[in-house]
Structure formats: C-alpha cells, structure tokens
Structure 1
Amino acid sequence: MMIRMKRARLIYNPTSGKEEFQRKLPEILDYFERAGYETSCHATKKAGDATKAAESAVNHGFDLIIAAGGDGTLYEVVNGMAEKPHRPPLGIIPSGTTNDFARAIGLPLRNIKKSCEMIVRGEAMPIDIGKVNNKYFINIAGAGALTDLTYEVPSKLKTIMGQLAYYIKGIEKLPFIRPSHVRIETDEMVIDEEIMLFLIANSNSVGGLERLAPSASLYDGKFDCLILKKTSFPEFLRIATHVIKGDHIKDPDVIYFQTKKLKASASSNVYINLDGELGGELPIEFTALPKHLKVIMPKK
C-alpha cells in the first residue's frame, strides 16, 4: 500500500529581508520533500497575493501552509486562512525586517535552515488572533502617528538597512507627532481623551521590543492594550527609555489593561495599523478569537 505524502504550500516574499530566502529556495524545497512533504511554492508579486495564495491552498486541501517573509507576508497569509472552517497548521520562516511574531514565539531568526527544521519537528499549537471588521491580525494592532512608521518606510530601505530603517524614520518624525482625540470603550471601562498612540497586543514583541506588552499571552483569549496619553516631547523620551525594562506600564501617562473586545472611535481621521499593514480607519471594533489558528512552535 502506497503512503500518501503530505502536501505543503510555501508562500514567500522574494524581496523580504535581504533577499536571502530566494537564493536558498532550491535547498528549502529539497529539505521539505525529504521530510515527507510534497512541496509547491508561490512567490508574491504585489499586495494581497499572499492572502489569495493562502486561501487557495486551504481550498485545495493542503496539509501545511508555510509563510516565508516578514510580518506583512504573515499578516496576509493569516487573512487568507482565518475565515475558513478547516485551517491547516501554519509554519513560519522569518525572513523579513522585524519578524515580531516569530520573535515572540521563539522561532530561529536569520537562520532559514533552522526555521525549516523547526517546522518539521515542531508542534502545532492553537493560538489566539484578533479580528477587526473583516480583517485579522496575529500580533499587533495600533493607531496614532507612531504606528504609521511601518508602512511609511520604503521597502527598498527596509531591504538594505533592516530594522534600523524604522528607527531612522521614527527619529525623523518625533518632533512632529501630534495627539488624537480617541474614545475607547470596553466592558470594563471608557477612555475618552487625547492620546499619542494606542496598541492592542496579542504577543509581547512589538517593533522588536520584547517588553512593550510584558503580560501578553497568545493563549489567554485577551488583548493587552497600551495607551500613551498626550505628552510633551521630553516626557515621551522619558517613557521610551523605560520601555527597555518594561517599567513604562507603571508610568502615569500610560494606561495598560486587558480585554476581550473593544471599540475605538476618533474625532478626526485616525488610521489603524494591523501587523504593520494599513488596516482601515476608526471607528472600529476589535475582537479576540481564542485558539483560532494552529501555528507550529518550537517544542517545549
């Protein structure tokens, strides 16, 4: 009796990181074939490609979907899978600039070979994701001037300079940051005031900072929310230095709480960032979906 090989669909961004992934593609495909996966691949060419490719892979009954790229590629793949009644496990090869989610779950960074080995030998764990109207995010949602950075940095600059490109853009924008008047409603509280930004975290790694949401968990069915009130430039810099130790959540200008659902509205145009991608404009409702997606993790 012939044993059927499992089928894997590899969806990759050929321009992510420093384009190392594309150079190693033949040996990556060979590795998965030897591990028992009949593997085909799809190279993204424009925004939305990874979402369509992931949706097609689910519809065609693939046993494993692999997202290779940065947070943007992962975001699109998650959106292609999240609505489906049957969702195969998702493997991740982090080859982008920041790789926030991969960092949060302890995946090998900047090591494609080890990432492939982890997918084959790892364990599929059901994790929470967030829903925003008809879109989904796996790691972070945010609003405010600082969250614009991820889609303002040119892709070529990210390829050349990596995560440093975000910090350069951030320093450039700091003197021009202006607060927004936002109303945030949960079952537990209402916040109505001028803020610099708010973040809704599913994991503890945001923008390469691993203590920005220190209590966040992928398994508790809740968001960890952080709001920075209206502050002066010197106050902002003071709070930023506390982020390194995770002490910022005790600052009187920071509001930090957990919730399963929240509504956010604004008196002016405020745009939402979902896993580094433009995700719409307030008003918006955010909902946590507990254990909605199986992601392959390193075995404990």
Structure 2
Amino acid sequence: MRRLLLILNGKSAQREDVRGAVERVRGEGCEVRVRVTYDGDDAAQFAREAVRLAGDARPQVIVAGGGDGTVNQVVAAALEAEPATDCAFGVLPLGTANDFATGLGLPVDDAAAALALCAAAAPRRIDVGRINGRVFVNVASGGSVTRITRETDPRAKRLLGGAAYLIAGASRIGELAPTRAAFAADGFSWEGDFIAMAIGNGRLAGGGVPLCADARIDDGRLDLTLFPQPDADNLMTLLSGLLREPGSQFDGYARKARFTRLTIEAEEDLALNLDGEPMSARRLDVQVDPAALSFITGK
C-alpha cells in the first residue's frame, strides 16, 4: 500500500473527477490524504510539513494537484525543507496549460488515470533547475513576452487554454519591447536585444509550445532558447508560426545552448516566470542540480 498526500489547489476542490480519482485509488488499497489550499502559501507549507514527518506518517508520494505553479510551489518548498528527502513527487494535472505534465507524458485529461500512476508507477530521478537559488522543474521564461503572458486575462485562459497566451502576444504586439542582456554559459556567449528567452528542464511552455524542444529532464543539463529582437515582419511571422506550427519556426532564428551553468546580466531588472511563479532580477545565476528529485512520469 503506497501512502499518498494530495496537495490540492482549492480552485479544484469541488471537481467531481478529482473526487472520483481519489475514491478509485483508495478503493485499490492506497492511503490518500488530501490537503486543500486556501491561501497563497498553503501548498508550500503543506509540502514543508510533509517531508519533515517521520516514519509511516511521511507520505511516500507527494502529489501536486493543480497547474505548473502548484507543482513549483510544492517541489520548491519540499527541497528547501529537506534537500535529500526520500519522498517521491507526482502531479495531478488540473491547470490551464499543464505544460510540465504534458511533457512528462501524463494523461492530462484523465484525473483518475493520472492519480493511479502516482499510486502505482515507479518514480525516476529527474533534474531540477535553479535561478538565484530558486527552483524550477519545467521552464523559466523571460522578456517582454513573459510579462504579457503573466497579464493575460484569466477568463481567456479558462475559455481558450494555452492558446490564450499566444493570442495575447499577437494582440499586444506593440508592447513587445526588447530587453538587452549578456549571456555566458558552457561554450556559449551572446549579447544583444531579445524579446523572449526560455531556460528549459522540460520542453513545453505557454500552452504546449516546445520552447526548449530538445530538453530532457534527466540529462544533467538545462537548455536555453533565446529569441533576438526581430524586425516587424519577422515578429509577425514568429507569432503566427507559434499559433500554426509550434517548433518549426524557431529553426535558423532562435539561439540555442545546452549548459550546466549560465550567467545572464541585463541592463535592468528582467522579469521571469518560473513554472508560472514570478521573479525578477538584473543578474541571473542559473544552474542544474542533476537527479535532485524523484518524480513519477508517464514515460
């Protein structure tokens, strides 16, 4: 019998499919405790408390029930509290885009199947990224595109899913001001104006867009995809390409690198999105922690 703790985003607490998933897993003999978030820091607090429990009181798998932001809060808080925790982690994907869960090959449209994996599948070791000490497991993105996606109307997200981010970018094209920064990594350096960047442990962001198409969660490296400032014609081509053929339009335009350490120095504070969680800084020190986390995946 596997012991699960489901840290459930309060917005999803009344979903019938979630209730059914919990009942199904309990019926198969697993212990499933559920803690529902109410305030913004609840998910982190529940995770910190869980990894500090002793013996049979400690869950074997901590499941983040929500979107990419909930996953980030749970994992980051757990690793901060107990960096060498023997708890495994999983995700019950209930967010708008569910980019991390999709990249893991999890059944994002079937809550029962996703929770059943957390109850039965063998976990694997995956890498974790850190920026100025802060944890991310999927993708950290920055630039003016990041600010626009952060401000995208929540109602549009609910109606359109991940496409809402791309439509918002196209509709506010005049606000895509470039950011100037210098990048230095293993065998890679670049300095200039850019409109977006992505640092990937995972592959997908912004509603299924493969910003870091070659990234692997267990290769001991992170991937950088950098979008220099284009002229107006190329910017429209880029945005329309994101809507039609994700991935293919990056070839020949984006700058890419794979690294274990990266330094970014910008002329002004650079707004970032770490798995949906905001931060900003003028200097960014990025590194990978190889095999730092035990996680249940679909692959």
AA of the residue aligned to 1:56: E
Offset at 1:221? Answer: 0.9
Q: Which residue of 1 aligns with 2:251?
A: 250
Q: Which residue of 1 aligns with 2:3?
A: 7
Q: Which residue of 1 aligns with 2:61?
A: 64
What is the TM-score of this pair, normalised by structure 2?
0.89
C-alpha contact (below 8 Å) 1:150/1:277 kept by paired residues: no
Query: 1:53 pairs with 46, 49, 68, which one?
Result: 46
Q: Which residue of 1 aligns with 2:71?
A: 74
Q: Which residue of 2 aligns with 1:99?
A: 98
SS of equivalent residue, structure 1 residue 66: strand
Query: 1:36 pairs with 20, 29, 35, which one?
Result: 29
The verdict on how the C-alpha distance between 1:279 and 1:37 changes in structure 2, with shifts beyond 3 A counting, is: farther
AA of the residue aligned to 2:65: A
Give the Cα separation in 1 of the matches to 2:14 and 2:106: 16
What is the TM-score of this pair, normalised by structure 1?
0.89
1:217-228 paired onto structure 2 within 5 Å: 217-228=216-227
Offset at 1:137? Answer: 0.4
Counterpart check, 1:206 vs 2:205: yes
Q: Which residue of 2 aligns with 1:273?
A: 273
Give the Cα separation in 1 of the matches to 2:246 and 2:208: 10
Offset at 1:21? Answer: 6.0
C-alpha contact (below 8 Å) 1:104/1:210 kept by paired residues: no
The verdict on how the C-alpha distance between 1:294 and 1:42 changes in structure 2, with shifts beyond 3 A counting, is: same
Give the Cα separation in 2 of the matches to 1:21 and 1:188: 50
Aligned residues: CA RMSD = 2.1
Offset at 1:242? Answer: 5.0
Aligned residues: 291
Q: Which residue of 2 aligns with 1:263?
A: 263
1:93-242 paired onto structure 2 within 5 Å: 93-241=92-240
Offset at 1:286? Answer: 0.8
Give the Cα separation in 1 of the matches to 2:248 and 2:66: 32
C-alpha contact (below 8 Å) 1:150/1:276 kept by paired residues: no
Offset at 1:118? Answer: 2.0
CA distances 1:212-260 after superposition (whole Å, capped 9, x unpaired) = 3221111111111111111123212223455526333432x42111111
C-alpha contact (below 8 Å) 1:71/1:276 kept by paired residues: yes
C-alpha contact (below 8 Å) 1:211/1:245 kept by paired residues: yes
Give the Cα separation in 2 of the matches to 1:174 and 1:138: 29
AA of the residue aligned to 2:10: P
Give the Cα separation in 1 of the matches to 2:236 and 2:208: 15
Offset at 1:200? Answer: 0.4
CA distances 1:94-148 after superposition (whole Å, capped 9, x unpaired) = 1110000111011001211111222223220111110122310010011101112
Q: Which residue of 1 aligns with 2:291?
A: 291
Give the Cα separation in 2 of the matches to 1:228 and 1:210: 14
SS of equivalent residue, structure 2 residue 63: strand
Structure 1 unaligned spans of 5+: none
Offset at 1:75? Answer: 1.0
C-alpha contact (below 8 Å) 1:196/1:229 kept by paired residues: yes
AA of the residue aligned to 1:79: A
Deviating more after overlay: 197-206 vs 156-165: 156-165
AA of the residue aligned to 2:128: I
Give the Cα separation in 2 of the matches to 1:99 and 1:170: 19
The share of aligned pairs that are identical, in percent, is 25
C-alpha contact (below 8 Å) 2:4/2:119 kept by paired residues: no
C-alpha contact (below 8 Å) 2:162/2:208 kept by paired residues: no
Give the Cα separation in 2 of the matches to 1:165 and 1:235: 21
Deviating more after overlay: 159-168 vs 43-52: 159-168
AA of the residue aligned to 1:174: I
C-alpha contact (below 8 Å) 2:140/2:273 kept by paired residues: yes
AA of the residue aligned to 2:45: K
